[in-house]
């Protein structure tokens, strides 16, 4: 039987172990999986582009398990009451090809994206830098903020969005977490007064969310909004001055900030920091940039963790998505006998 995890199941899991515990476990799992990068077969995601958005498949595999995610990105969806991003994932045995888990990944994508940013900040931000800033208070913003609060102790939060209603939503959702929430009138103010900044905007085209002269030495930036060809957030001249860390070069060169400036400005892939092949931050003066577009290994980590936790807490539904046993494995037609 294949275990199926719904949104309700993910909510039940978070209720049982707590959001902080889930984030910390996921960040640990991400670091562990990234540190064994060479164990995985990796491919850039397959994307189908449409005038209204994109639909993607994101596969990855090690010797034991295969995982993939179906995910979309339709920026205009909120105008009709739909989410910009929805997703589903499959986690399967590489030994026999049987799917072990089918899971919602709309929530899990938001959780793993924020956890990955926090992992990058762990390696690239100044240890004493605890002031967190978020530019773009849409769907990803609360997740990014809480991942950094739980993992790095960032409790002083500055935030800005061009939509006042989005800022009100952000503050309302985070009020129970006892953070110091400081609304800002501009992205410039967020940048100037933060040590760690995440940009998570839905801006179209080659936007310039950050101007280089705003950024103080020692700042770390997670750029998560530039995630498809022709869609970026950084001034390319500013990006060239940063120490840039990415996830997977063949994918990021097509979709990330570096699509505007080339591979010669890349310092490392994230796995090299996790595996201690390269150092992260090397001085308090460096400006660091995690050019994040989202990579399938992060979905693998999230799916494997959810599978383990769902078995521990007996969550989800076991469904006969595939034939479990046949007296004769070559006699597939026998499944229809009772229906005829």
Using alpha carbons, select from 89, 110, 108, 91 the residue that is nearest to residue 99: 91
* Catalytic residue chosen out of the listed positions 33, 62, 161, 227: 227
Q: Identify whether the C-beta of residue 159 lies closer than 8 Å to the C-beta of residue 133.
A: yes
User: SS3 of 64, please?
Assistant: coil
Report how far residue 291's alpha carbon sits from residue 223's, in angstroms, rounded to the nearest whole number.
5
Active site residue 227: yes
- Residues 279, 285, 291: CA angle, nearest 5 degrees: 60
**CA pair distance 158, 132, nearest whole angstrom:** 6
For residue 212, CA distances in Å to 58, 111, 119, 191, 321 come to: 33, 29, 24, 10, 52
| Distances, alpha carbon 12 to alpha carbons 147, 156, 268, in Å | 19, 29, 37
Q: How many whole angstroms separate alpha carbon 71 and alpha carbon 63?
A: 24
Alpha-carbon distance 149 to 151, whole Å? Answer: 6
Which residues are designated catalytic?
A: 227
């Amino acid at each position: 039987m294949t275990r199926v995890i719904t949104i309700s199941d993910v909510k039940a899991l978070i209720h049982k172990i707590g959001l902080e515990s889930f984030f910390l476990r996921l960040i640990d799992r991400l670091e562990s999986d990234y540190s064994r990068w060479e164990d995985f077969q990796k491919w850039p995601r397959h994307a189908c582009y449409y005038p209204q958005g994109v639909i993607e498949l994101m596969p990855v595999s090690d010797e034991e398990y295969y995982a993939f995610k179906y995910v979309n990105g339709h920026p205009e969806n909120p105008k009709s009451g739909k989410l910009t991003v929805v997703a589903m994932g499959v986690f399967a045995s590489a030994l026999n090809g049987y799917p072990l888990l089918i899971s919602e990944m709309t929530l899990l994508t938001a959780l793993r994206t924020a956890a990955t940013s926090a992992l990058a900040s762990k390696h690239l931000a100044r240890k004493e830098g605890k002031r967190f800033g978020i530019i773009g208070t849409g769907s990803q913003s609360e997740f990014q903020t809480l991942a950094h609060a739980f993992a790095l102790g960032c409790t002083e939060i500055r935030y800005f969005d061009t939509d006042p209603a989005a800022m009100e939503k952000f503050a309302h959702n985070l009020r129970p977490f006892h953070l110091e929430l400081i609304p800002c009138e501009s992205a410039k103010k967020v940048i100037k007064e933060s040590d760690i900044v995440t940009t998570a905007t839905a801006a179209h085209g080659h936007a310039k969310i950050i101007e280089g002269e705003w950024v103080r030495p020692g700042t770390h930036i997670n750029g998560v909004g530039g995630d498809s060809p022709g869609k970026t957030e950084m001034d390319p001249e500013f990006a060239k001055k940063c120490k840039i860390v990415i996830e997977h070069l063949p994918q990021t060169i097509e979709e990330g900030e570096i699509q505007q400036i080339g591979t010669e400005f890349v310092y490392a892939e994230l796995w090299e920091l996790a595996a201690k092949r390269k150092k992260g931050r090397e001085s308090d003066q460096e400006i660091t940039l995690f050019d994040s577009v989202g990579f399938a290994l992060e979905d693998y980590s999230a799916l494997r963790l959810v599978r383990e936790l769902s078995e521990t807490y007996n969550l989800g539904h076991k469904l006969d998505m595939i034939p479990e046993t046949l007296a004769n494995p070559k006699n597939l037609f026998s499944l229809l006998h009772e229906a005829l």
